[in-house]
Each structure stands twice: as structure tokens, then as C-alpha cells.
Structure 1
Amino acid sequence: MSNRHIATRDRGECVLGWWQRSDQFDWFSAYLRDRGLQVRWRMATFVFTVFLVAVPVVLIGSPAGPDGSVQTWIVIAASVSAFTASLVWLFRWPSRAQSLSYSTVCSVSIAAGCLAVRNPYAGLMGCTMFAAIGGFVAYFHALSHVVANLVVAVSCAAINAVRMFAEMDDIRMVAGSAALVLGLNLGVPFGIHTLVHSLHIDLRDSDRDPLTGLLNRKSFYNMVRDLIAARGQFNTPVNVTMVDLDDFKLLNDTHGHAVGDAALVSVAAVLQEHTEPGTVLGRLGGEEFVIADVDAAARHAVTAERVRRGIAATPFQITASFGICSTTVAAGAEIDHPGFLDRLIRAADAAMYRSKRAGGNRVVHDRLDIPG
């Protein structure tokens, strides 16, 4: 299978799985960290929130502002809540749960402010602020969260549009204002979500081994991180297998590097053929390959044995030594990336060398226990 076909197939799988994508907080946070942009994002988020909470407070006492003491206290409470939720961005990069809490509090605060003001046009225009929160959610979180923010925005806009029509009796003015709010709340968040999703695909596909089409080390780490993050709410079994071809140097010396390259491509094809969908496959360099999945350890061992037999059956008369390391990540656990995966790979590598010292062409198992 050519590199182009592999990339096209994976791109198609990503597009089909777009709606099921659970979260993109981890990979996008890592993307910003690697480029030194996290501090800028933190400061920008905090400053935006300060302006957000200032708007309804400034309107207190205005003829268009909160209607009565109850509404005034609702606006104050909403502004204080949003400001408090934003403080985490001022001091450090938040966790996924803190980021979701921030966006939820801001969304509820905007809704409270838009429904508490006396002037329905001011309330309707205030619903444009949902687009900014929706854009934030689109960068970091799942499509379901973007849709939830949209539902709140449309509900608040509809209530204010009805109020506005009752006061003004001008359907064209109401329709135009509502169309502006709806357009912003659809275009901004969903445009950003599509952009970030495409960026993720391009980053992944640009980090492939040019010979075999498998992931290189950096991309392999990123994909495994995403795989674990997608299962974050469950206890997640994680398996890593190191594969090293036996006597590969002899093959190169005897038949030449062209044959050696063909053998590597053949091994990559065996890995793709005999592993389950969702398995992460990489080439770390030379004749070293790596396999990772979140399947049960027993099923992963069956897969490794299937791959071992497949490699031995290639026409190049080569075998491989396998080292497996399995562990379990507790639900909601904060994983230290890339240190966690480094530990798994080192343990799998040690098991692989035990396999090689025992004669090769076999699978050796190990387990890594993570302190609770």
C-alpha cells in the first residue's frame, strides 16, 4: 500500500470519526505548549473574560439594563462567577475539567445577562457573545459541547426575539437581528472546529516515516496520547509492543539495502494487515517498529502473535523479536506525557531484548504498575 493510499485512508477514517471525537484538549494544549503559546492564550482568555463580565455590570442603572433588584443581583452573581472561573487561566494552564467548567460558567453567565436586561434588543445583541465562548470550546473540546453552547445561544436569542417583536412589532428588524446572532453562533464555532480538526489531521499525516508510511516517533506519541485521552472517563488498558527484526543487518549485507527497504515495507504491511482498527503503528528507526492499543492485554498478545507469524511468512525469510508492556490507566487520571509513554516503551524494549537473547522470533510479556 502506498504512502498516499495510507494517508487517504486515514484521512477518511478521521473524517468519519469526526462526530465521535470525544475531546481535543490534550493534543491542542500540547500543540500550544510546544510552540510557546500557552501564556498568550491564558492571558487572552483572562482579559476576554474581564471584558465579558464588565458589560452587564456597566449596564446596571441604565434604562436598557437589568429590570429590578432581583435581575440586578442575578447579573452581579453571573459576572462574579465568570470572573472567578477565569482566574485559573491567570495563574496556570487548566486541566480539561477546569476548562470545561470555565466555558460552562461563561455560557450560563451570558444567558443570565441576556435574559435579565430590560431592553430585548440589548439582550438579543448580547447573544453574540455566545459565539466567542463557542469558538473557545471549538478549539479545545468536543463537538457535542459546541452544540450544547449553540442550543443555549439559540434559546436565549429566541426568547429575546419574541420580547423584541412584542415591543416593536417590526418583524424585519427582529428577523435581521436574529439572523446576525444565529450567523455568528453558527459560523464562528463550527468554522473553528473544522479548522482545528483539519490541522490535527495535517499535523499527524506530516509526521510519517517516508519509507513505510507508518507514524514516526513524535507522531506516534501524539496519537497514543489522543487514544488514551479519548477514553479518559474509563479505566483504560494500554499496551505497547516493541518489534525488532532479527538479523536484519545480515539481510542488508547479503542482499543489499534495496531488498532491506523492501523487507521493511513488507513488515509495515503485515502490521497494518494483522492489527485491529484504531491500533497505533509506528517505525522508531532502523528495523524497530512499535504497536500500541487500548485493548485488553490478552487480546493484544493474540494480535502480537498474529503479527509475529505474519512477519515470519514474508518472502524475505526474516523473523522478529517482540516485547510487550501492558498497564491500566485509572479513570480520570492525569497522565504525564511524554514521560508515561517513555516508561512503557522502555519496559517493552527491555522485554524485546529478553526475547532476542532467548533466540528471537518470540513474544515476551511485561507489565508496568502505575501507583494509584
Structure 2
Amino acid sequence: MSPFDQYYARTALLAAQGKRARMQRTVGTTIIGLSLIPLLMLASPAGPGGALRYVAVAITVGGLIMAQWWWRRQWPSRTQSWIVVSIGTAGIAGTCVLLVDPQIGLLGSAGLSLITAYTAFLHSQRVLYLTWAAAVATVAFLAVRVAQTDVWLAISGAVVALAVILTTSALCRIAVELIEPDHLLHPREIDPLTGLLNREAFDMHTATMLGSHSRHDDQYLVVVAVGIDDMALLSDMDGSHSTLHARVAVAQAIRETVRHKVPLAHISDSEFLIADVFKANDPSPLVNRIRMAITTTPMRLTASIGTACSPLRPLTALPTEQIIDGLVTLADTAMKQSRAQGGNRTTYAHFPTPTMGPDGQE
């Protein structure tokens, strides 16, 4: 297991599969459902009584507030996710302990498996151990209360609750480790909003991709710069949430359009970079697919696009860093030229050698 938390790397995997929005809805709905249980228990004779009723109401209110983090357009930060895990664990444990009948509480403690499974999927082993410790403490406390009247029932209930809590999260952890890539991205390489690479990681992954291809083959390295049009106008009309939603939507649209595992980065509020190796010096099919994908986003966005294309053979003796910097600069300049000409268009730049300037073509 890596020494760092894989929260953003695993959310990036969700985004790459187009499942992040579904995950948000699932977690948000689950939190709302669990939050309503303390409120419903107030109507039951087995529910909390006296001043503890106010605690139950507070747990419900706190849960509904947390659910809002998952119903928003923006994916919660890792710190917010930690808070959800902490408060969620405390809320479920508190609800079980507050019940008049500890047998019902012991049965309900199996609900902590929802928290531990979520933690196993998104967070580090250390965080998972902490949630396991809290779950074991809760089950042990309730088992002791039940044992005052029925020892064997207490033992049986504790075994069942712990089996559900520990096994589900352990299986979830194993499943994640089986399906995730051999080398997950370090959190410092990932843009937290979109789950894409940042600029530094883009350069590194493009260099790795370039190194995996023979520069003696008749192939072409292409860098595409994509800039969302009218971001300032979008912010003025509908606020910062719309611009965040636009960036996430465009990131998902591009991710679903480009080939799997090609370097794809979000480098500024409205700009993205893609690198790929083609067998022809015509990136227009990819550009047209990207443009179509962006226009079909829910906000019907448009983009200014610039491309830089170079055959690999003339670049054999050049440093990789120089090649990437040169192509990115040309693509970015071409993108800005498209934007200056009114946006929603593409400018193509050819790059035979680093000393030659772009030959823009509509």
C-alpha cells in the first residue's frame, strides 16, 4: 500500500469511468436515509427518551447538512470526506447507543459497514483502521450491555455485526486493489476538481509516452490545447458554481473522447492539454470529436482549440523536455489565436523542428 492517501487518484478513476456523479448521488442518498433513522426512532418506544431526543435530532440535522456536500456539483474535497467519515461514524454509533434496547442497537451497529466500506474504497489504510477501531468499540460497548441479560445473544450479535463490518470493507479494499492500475497517480499529480493531470504531471507522462515510441518510425506527436470559450461571461451570468460545473463537464467530455491512458491535463481555469501519437499528421478527427463532445455537454459549451503536430523522426536527437515545451507552447499559441478570432474554431500548427515557428491554418 502506498504511504499516501489515494483519495484523488481513486476519484479520478471514478471520473474516468463516468461514474463520479452516480457515486455522489449514491452517497448523498445513503446519508439522507441514515440521517432520518434517529428521527424515525423518536416515534418508537425503543427510541431515545428525555434529553437524548435532542441528541437524535442533532444527529439527523448534521447528517442532512453533510448530504449537501454530495448533492452539489463539485466533488467533495478529501478533508470534507474525512469529516463525513468521522461524523458518519459518530452518528451511527451514537444512534445505536442511544436506543433503549441495546439488542436493537447491536443489530443496528452493522450499519457501520457502510462507513467502513466507503473508507476502504477511497481512503488510506490508516483511516480504515481508525473506522474499524471505532466500530469495534461500539459493538463491544453494546455487546456488554446485552450480556447483562443474555451472554450468548451478546456474543452472537457481536460476531454477526463485526463479520459484516470487517468483511465488507476488507472485500471492498481487495476489489479496489485488484482493479486499480499498477501505479496510481500521486495526489500531487492530480487536479482535485477534474481528476485530470496537472501541467507538471502532463509533461512527465507525455515524456513517458514519447519514450515508449521509436522516433525512427513514421509517427507524429500531437499536442492539443483546448480553451473553454466565454468563461468570464459564464461566471458573470451564473456565478462560480457554473464555471466549476463547466470545467468538470468539459473534463469528462474530453476524457471520454481521447484514447485511454493518453496524457490529459487541466492546466488552468479554462484550459486543457492532450498529447497523443498518431500515424498521420492530421489531428482533425480527434479535434472534431473533442469539439462535438464539448458542444453536447449540458451547458452547450464551445471551445477554442489549437494543435501542434511534429513527425518523430526529425526529433531523434532533441531532448524530450525541449520537444514537449515547444509543442505545448505552439499549441497554446494556436489556441489563443483561435480565441482571438472569435472562438469556437481550431488553428493547426506544424512543428518540424523547435526552431521553426507555427504555420497557422484554419
TM-score range for the pair, normalised by the shorter chain length? 0.5 to 0.7
Paired residues in the alignment total: 239
1:182 aligns with 2:136: no
Aligned counterparts, 1:193-204, within 5 A: 193-201=173-181
Give the direction of change, closer, same or farther, for the CA distance of 1:282–1:62 in structure 2 (3 Å limit). same
Question: Deviation digits for residues 163-201 of structure 1, max 9, x if unmatched?
Answer: 1111x1x22111110000110111011110111011114
- 2:153 corresponds to 1:173: yes
Aligned partner of 1:339: which letter?
Answer: H
Structure 2 partner of 1:213: none
Structure that is richer in helix per residue = 1
CA contact (8 A) 1:143 1:193 kept: no
C-alpha displacement of 1:141: 1.0
Instruction: Supply the distance in 2 between the matched residues of 1:65 and 1:151 (Cα, whole angstroms).
Output: 26
**Contact in 2 for aligned 1:71/1:116 (Cα 8 Å):** yes
Equivalent of residue 228 in structure 1, options 189, 193, 202: 189
Which residue is equivalent to 2:88?
A: 106
In 2, are the aligned partners of 1:71 and 1:117 still within 8 Å (CA)?
A: no
Deviation at 1:107, TM superposition (A): 1.0
Equivalent residue for 1:64, pick from 19, 29, 46 = 46
Q: Give aligned-pair identity as a percent.
A: 21
Among candidates 123, 129, 137, match of residue 155 of structure 1 = 137
How many angstroms does 1:238 deviate by?
Answer: 5.7
- 1:220-259 mapped onto 2 (5 Å cutoff): 223-226=184-187, 228=189, 240=203
Contact 1:111 1:127 in 2 (8 A): yes
Distance 2:157 2:59 in 1: 24
CA drift at 1:343: 6.5
Asked if 1:83 is matched to 2:64, the reply is yes
Q: Deviations over 1:206-257 (max 9, x none)?
A: xxxxxxxxxxxxxxxxx4455636xxxxxx996756998xxxxxxxxxxxxx
Letter in 1 for 2:42: I
Q: Deviations over 1:89-136 (max 9, x none)?
A: 112222222222222211111121112111111111121111011111
1:335-354 equivalences under 5 Å are 338-340=265-267
| Contact 2:199/2:266 (8 A) holds in 1 | no
Structure 1 residue ranges without an equivalent (≥5): 1-17, 205-222, 230-235, 245-280, 289-335
Write out the 4+ residue segments of structure 1 that deviate beyond 6 Å after TM superposition.
341-346, 361-366
**In 1, Cα distance between equivalents of 2:320 and 2:99:** 72
1:123 to 105, 109, 115: 105
1:27, distance to aligned residue in structure 2 (A) = 2.5
Distance 1:124 1:34, change over 3 A: same
Give the whole-Å Cα distance in 2 for the aligned partners of 1:224 and 1:105: 28
SS at match of 2:46: coil
**CA separation in 2, counterparts of 1:361 and 1:37?**
39
Q: CA RMSD in A?
A: 4.0
1:28 maps onto 2:26 in alignment: no
State how far apart, in whole Å, the 1-side matches of 2:18 and 2:51 are.
Answer: 45
Alignment correspondent of 1:287: 214
C-alpha distance in 2 between matches for 1:146 and 1:43: 22
With the length of structure 2 as denominator, give the TM-score of the two structures. 0.55
SS at match of 1:338: strand
Alpha-carbon separation, structure 2, partners of 1:106 and 1:241: 39
8 A Cα contact 2:120 2:172, kept in partner: yes
Q: Which moved more, 1:32-41 or 1:79-88?
A: 32-41
Counterpart Cα distance in 2 of 1:361 and 1:106: 52
Judged with a 3 Å threshold, the aligned counterparts in structure 2 of structure 1 residues 180 and 364 are, in CA distance, closer, same or farther, namely same
Compute the TM-score of the two structures, normalised by the length of structure 1: 0.54
Match of 2:286 in 1: none
Q: Indicate if the aligned counterparts of 1:24 and 1:139 stay in contact, CA closer than 8 A.
A: no
